[in-house]
Amino acid sequence: MLTDGEQQFPVQIVFSVAKKRYKRAVDRNLVKRRMREAYRLNKQAQLYDVLNSSGKKLILSISYIGKEISPYEFFEKKMLKLLTQLAVEAIK
C-alpha cells in the first residue's frame, strides 16, 4: 500500500505467521526470523534505492501460509522475487 504520510523509513513492514498452522511459538518465531533476515539482507539493494529515488513510501504486511517450515534459502529466493516485483510496481 502506498502512503503519503510522514515515515522515517521508505517501508514499514510486519511479518505474520498463523497460529492456526503453527501451534508452537518457537516454530512461528523461526519462520518470522527467517523472513526478517531475508528482508534485512536484500531490502537496500532491491527496494530502498528505488523507493528513495521515486520518493514513494510503502506499508507492507507479509504473511507466511506454508504448511511446513522451509529452509532459509527458500525464504531468501521468495523475498528477492517479492522485492523485485515491488520495485517494478513502485517505478510505474
Task: Tell me the residue ranges of DSSP E strands in the chain.
Answer: 2-3, 11-17, 57-64
How high is the pLDDT of residue 41?
96
Task: Identify the pLDDT of residue 3.
Answer: 65
Lowest mean pLDDT among 12-16, 54-58, 66-70, 77-81: 54-58
3-state DSSP assignment of residue 50 = helix
User: What is the pLDDT at residue 32?
Assistant: 97
Kindly list the distances between the CA atom of residue 45 and the CA atoms of 6, 27, 41, 55, 87, in Å, as whole numbers in the listed order: 23, 29, 9, 16, 10
Are 38 and 18 a contacting pair, CB within 8 Å? no
pTM beyond cutoff 0.75: yes
AA identity, residue 29: N
Cα–Cα distance, 67 to 86 (Å, whole number): 25
Q: What is the mean pLDDT of the chain?
A: 91
Residues counted in the chain: 92
- Domain ranges for the chain: 2-91
Residue 25 C-alpha cell reads as 511459538
Q: What is the pLDDT of residues 9-34, one digit of tens each?
A: 888 999 999 999 999 999 999 999 99
